[in-house]
Structure 1
Amino acid sequence: MNLGLTALELARIQFAFTVSFHIIFPAISIGLASFLAVLEWRWLRTQNPVYRDLFKFWVKIFAIAFGMGVVSGVVMSYQFGTNWSEFSRIAGSVTGPLLAYEVLSAFFLEAGFLGIMLFGWGRVGPRAHFFATLMVAVGTCISMFWILSSNSWMQTPQGFSIENGIIVPQDWFAIVFNPSFPYRLAHMAAAAFLVSALLVASTAAWHLLKGRRDALVKTSFSMALWMILVLATLQIFIGDMHGLNTLEHQPAKLAAIEGHWETNHDEGMPLYLFGIPDMQAEETKYAVGIPNLGSLIMTHSLDGKVTGLKEFAPEDRPNSLIVFWSFRIMVAMGMLMLLLALMALVLRKNNKLFENKWLHRFAFVMGPSGFIALLAGWFTTEVGRQPWVVYGVLRTKDALSPVSAEQVGLTLIIFVVVYCVVFGIGIYYMLKLMHKGPEFIYSVPHSDEEVIQASKRPLGSTDEDLDAKPSDNHQEEGK
């Protein structure tokens, strides 16, 4: 069952498949954990029950995403031993400790406080519960720190020596804080928060389109759009700095992203808006570009020099066709996010934020855009690093385990079937909860119509509250 592909190609496809499933769930967890911390903080400060009701709703989505992220992450780690044992043997002395630090400092922190966050209402004090929520949010960010440090070291390795063909760490500070790490960390953090903000905005937009106008939906929509406005703007500046770093440390990747074959000496590099890079012909066909704009963006100079792909040996070039378009998909999604946020800002000033159906439709269809941009950016990063698994040090083909194409092909088919079933069910349940929407538990709807439109009873043990006051119980009975 090799599907006509080599063991190397199948192993790469398998890892790409599993990591594409996995990265979605940590992104949701990272963003929602911080959103939940903000909601609970607002509830503690204002005692507005709307924030508590929103917390009760979104914590369910977070719990599902967190669980699926843990399961999919465990599967990925096993592949280092099954398909990529040579990578583990050669580079494991660096990547192994970094991943272990993630478990020791982040996963244990999250696991230690997750139970209190999910089931602690009424069992611990409000401030203690908020502390637990905050620790889970901090834990997700620490986890992101170590994972991005490990991946960034593979992109821009430093602080090591090679002894008997084995990578040996020499300077852990240099390894952890490698040249591309700050930019990748900031870029990924903003991406994760955008994923969650768009998820919240899309869910609220769906219910606005269905006629709900209660405080739960309005508050969700407003908070999410403020977050998108800030993050989409910030991501442009982070991306610019990340691009300059890539030009310095991974020029072949940047040339592939831009479909740039000839080094420009006497004029600026154009920015191609459209084109089809041809790896065999060594040219970008049907190119439509803006003169000099590529140099301006990449070097902050109209005639800045950018190394072309032809300067690198053919065996050292990334696949330009893939990264050219994955990068442009990511950028296009980012521009649409910014457009959504700016439209919302204008309508907010005109007091039409909750009444304009065109905005609501736009926000609803933009729900998946965060995931699309995330995956497109990840493909740009990982495919752009090829043919290296540790850039300039260890080639991907030399990191492969001694496995046959039939073995890898069989496990790939099993992964596809199991993942689609297991995670498909989880995603379906998340969508079902979002379709139902946030519910009135502690807050009071403003009209009978809102009572009918909102769900009458919360789901799951996360809504248990042992310290509910009699007035709270009467309120729920009235629903």
Structure 2
Amino acid sequence: MDVVALSRLQFALTAIFHMLWPVLTTGMAIYLVIVEGLWLKTKQPQYYHHARFWAKLYVLNFGIGVASGLPMEFQFGTNWAPLSEATGDFLGSILGFESAMAFMLEAGFLGIMLFGWKRVPPVMHYVATIMVAFGANLSTFWILTANSWMQTPAGGDFLANGKFIVRDYFEAIFNPFMVNSVAHMFMATLETSLFVIGGISAWYILNQRHPEFFGKSFKIVLALAIAVAPLQIYIGHLSGEQVYHQQPTKLAAMEAQWETLPAGEAADWSLLAWPNQQTETNTWELKIPKALSYILEVKPTLSAPVYGLKDFAPEDRPHQLGLIYYSFRTMVGIGFFLAGLMLITTLQWVRGKLSAETISQQRWLMRGWLLSAPLGYIAVESGWIVRCVGRQPWTVYGKIRTVDAASNLPAGDVLTSLTIFATIYTLLFISALYFGSRIIRHGPNLEMPVPSLEASGPEDGSTAQHQPNQRPVEAKQ
């Protein structure tokens, strides 16, 4: 048993499982800010009930995200101690910022958001909801900053002993990959959340349960998706261009490109292929002429070469080519599918087919949204596979090899912890499905009293409450 492979598999398991939960909380928190803001502005009770209903799914995801995220962080000290020792001056502080600055902000205001209804003024409650959303997305910023630095290290020097010394924190934080990576992940979490909320709303509409109520949530997410879905595709394109310039081996793996394409040549794009690492060729492939030139530079010929895998030594190439190649196409395909679904739905909206009276008749459209609910998760996980597996054999690209970053542990111990994690995470996943389905089956409580927007007092909404045995003060004069 290879201890490095086992440690990689364990981190992959914990990261893939953990990623399922903050993806929804970061995007859904923004949705909660929107519906609560609409309630404060319009005073319509339906928006208040939306905020209360979707917050239940939010807190379920938040709890499991916390439980699954802590073991992932501990692995930097157990399974990846040499990496932590070498890069701790930067990665340690960035991950510390994520915990102390972002997670604590989100967790601190979460109690007010969940239990502060009728206990704090409505505006204060709204501020708490905004802070929860800000904290959740600030966490995304710091995590993507750390990972982007591992993709394109900057802002310091690696000494002869392999330790990274920070010279300029801002340069390290704003490394070449950071801006597009943060924007791409922010849009991914928001788009995934929109289609999850839209898919759940479509399920209620298909089953004739509160169609008017969930018609509102459906239209809110559709209005946001009109901007988010195409913007996500554009930012993804910018990220692909960065890979082209910064990580030539990853691009070659993403495109199953074995031979170098020189500058000035029209490059074909491999739509589908089967990479064969033994023969260093593609067993079969379906190409679109000149398409890669337009994808990378939006022109018929390349201004710089596209390096093929054969230009790099076998030990310097990613080896799981099929996984990288098809994960990339899965992510891109889902992105275009969601954008297409958004476009079709928008056309139906313009035609007046999504009114409260007619939306239930759009059964095929609602089924499409129901099908789309898990697709965002698959796209996010596929994107992270491309990002991290495509970086191999480096943990810090071009600086620290994965084999040198792993702790020297007994393989049996890592296999044991891997088995324990797999078992616990399976139980957590089943529990999440059970409690999530219960929340959805029960549906919203539309009979819940709506607090007065003018109230600033305790539970009953009054502005004052006498304590037991308290006597009124008598006027003396």
Fold shared per TM-score above 0.5? yes
- Give the Å deviation of 1:220: 1.1
Q: What pairs up with 1:7-18 in 2 under 5 angstroms?
A: 7-18=3-14
Q: What pairs up with 1:430-445 in 2 under 5 angstroms?
A: 430-441=436-447
- Give the Å deviation of 1:213: 4.9
Q: Distance in 1 between matches of 2:273 and 2:256?
A: 8
Q: What pairs up with 1:290-329 in 2 under 5 angstroms?
A: 290-304=288-302, 305-318=305-318, 319-329=320-330
Q: Does 1:192 pair with 2:189?
A: yes
**Which of 442, 467, 472 in structure 1 is aligned with 2:460?**
467
**Which of 169, 174, 177 in structure 1 is aligned with 2:171?**
174
Q: Do 2:204 and 2:211's aligned partners in 1 also have CA atoms closer than 8 Å?
A: no
* CA offsets 1:394-451 (integer angstroms, 9 cap, x no match): 000001111122111111111111111123202321132123333313589xxxxxxx
Q: Distance in 2 between matches of 1:174 and 1:134?
A: 29
Q: Does 1:141 pair with 2:132?
A: no
Match of 2:474 in 1: none
Q: Do 1:50 and 1:442's aligned partners in 2 also have CA atoms closer than 8 Å?
A: no
User: Which amino acid letter does the alignment assign opposite residue 349 of structure 1?
Assistant: V
Match of 2:454 in 1: none
List runs of 5+ in structure 1 lacking aligned partners. Answer: 445-464, 470-479
Q: Distance in 1 between matches of 2:30 and 2:162?
A: 43
User: Which amino acid letter does the alignment assign opposite residue 217 of structure 1?
Assistant: F
Match of 2:424 in 1: 418
Identical pairs, percent? 40
Q: Does 1:331 pair with 2:329?
A: no
Q: Does 1:100 pair with 2:96?
A: yes
Q: Do 1:50 and 1:215's aligned partners in 2 also have CA atoms closer than 8 Å?
A: no
* CA offsets 1:194-232 (integer angstroms, 9 cap, x no match): 111111011011111101354321011111222223211
Q: Do 1:53 and 1:443's aligned partners in 2 also have CA atoms closer than 8 Å?
A: no
Give the match's secondary structure for 2:446.
coil
Q: Distance in 2 between matches of 1:373 and 1:350?
A: 30
Give the match's secondary structure for 1:344.
helix
User: Which amino acid letter does the alignment assign opposite residue 274 of structure 1?
Assistant: L
Q: Distance in 1 between matches of 2:423 and 2:71?
A: 14
Q: Do 1:208 and 1:217's aligned partners in 2 also have CA atoms closer than 8 Å?
A: yes
**Which of 388, 391, 409 in structure 1 is aligned with 2:394?**
388
**Which of 150, 153, 177 in structure 2 is aligned with 1:154?**
150
Q: What pairs up with 1:78-93 in 2 under 5 angstroms?
A: 78-93=74-89
Q: Do 1:156 and 1:179's aligned partners in 2 also have CA atoms closer than 8 Å?
A: yes
User: Which amino acid letter does the alignment assign opposite residue 167 of structure 1?
Assistant: F
Q: Distance in 2 between matches of 1:375 and 1:434?
A: 24
Change (3 A) 1:244 1:443: farther
Q: Distance in 1 between matches of 2:50 and 2:327?
A: 35
Match of 1:272 in 2: 270
Look at both structures and tell me which one has the larger radius of gyration over its CA atoms: 2
Match of 2:113 in 1: 117
Match of 2:285 in 1: 287
Q: Do 1:274 and 1:288's aligned partners in 2 also have CA atoms closer than 8 Å?
A: yes
Give the match's secondary structure for 2:275.
strand
Q: Does 1:406 pair with 2:399?
A: no
Q: What pairs up with 1:41-56 in 2 under 5 angstroms?
A: 41-56=37-52
* CA offsets 1:325-380 (integer angstroms, 9 cap, x no match): 00001111111101110110111112223121000111111110010101011101
Q: Distance in 1 between matches of 2:325 and 2:67?
A: 32
Change (3 A) 1:443 1:325: farther
* CA offsets 1:152-203 (integer angstroms, 9 cap, x no match): 0000001111223211111100110100000100000000001111110110
User: Which amino acid letter does the alignment assign opposite residue 206 of structure 1?
Assistant: W
TM-score (norm 1): 0.90
- Give the Å deviation of 1:27: 0.8
Q: Distance in 2 between matches of 1:146 and 1:401?
A: 25
Q: Distance in 1 between matches of 2:285 and 2:43?
A: 58
Q: Distance in 1 between matches of 2:449 and 2:260?
A: 63
User: Which amino acid letter does the alignment assign opposite residue 27 of structure 1?
Assistant: V
* CA offsets 1:247-289 (integer angstroms, 9 cap, x no match): 1111110111011111112632211111111122111221001
Q: Do 2:64 and 2:428's aligned partners in 1 also have CA atoms closer than 8 Å?
A: no
Match of 1:25 in 2: 21
Give the match's secondary structure for 2:192.
helix
- Give the Å deviation of 1:72: 1.1
Q: Do 2:233 and 2:336's aligned partners in 1 also have CA atoms closer than 8 Å?
A: no
Match of 2:455 in 1: none
Q: Do 2:205 and 2:211's aligned partners in 1 also have CA atoms closer than 8 Å?
A: no
Change (3 A) 1:272 1:467: farther
Q: Does 1:232 pair with 2:229?
A: yes
User: Which amino acid letter does the alignment assign opposite residue 23 of structure 2?
Assistant: A
Q: Distance in 1 between matches of 2:50 and 2:296?
A: 43
TM-score (norm 2): 0.91
Q: Distance in 1 between matches of 2:52 and 2:162?
A: 53
- Give the Å deviation of 1:300: 2.2
Change (3 A) 1:247 1:253: same
Q: Distance in 1 between matches of 2:308 and 2:297?
A: 14
What is the number of residues matched between the two proteins? 445
Match of 2:468 in 1: none
Match of 1:456 in 2: none
Q: Do 1:385 and 1:391's aligned partners in 2 also have CA atoms closer than 8 Å?
A: yes
User: Which amino acid letter does the alignment assign opposite residue 207 of structure 1?
Assistant: Y
User: Which amino acid letter does the alignment assign opposite residue 267 of structure 2?
Assistant: M
Q: What pairs up with 1:242-257 in 2 under 5 angstroms?
A: 242-257=239-254
- Output the aligned Cα RMSD: 1.5
User: Which amino acid letter does the alignment assign opposite residue 432 of structure 1?
Assistant: R
Match of 1:373 in 2: 379
Q: Distance in 1 between matches of 2:104 and 2:45?
A: 31
Change (3 A) 1:31 1:222: same
Match of 2:365 in 1: 359
Q: Distance in 2 between matches of 1:37 and 1:147?
A: 23
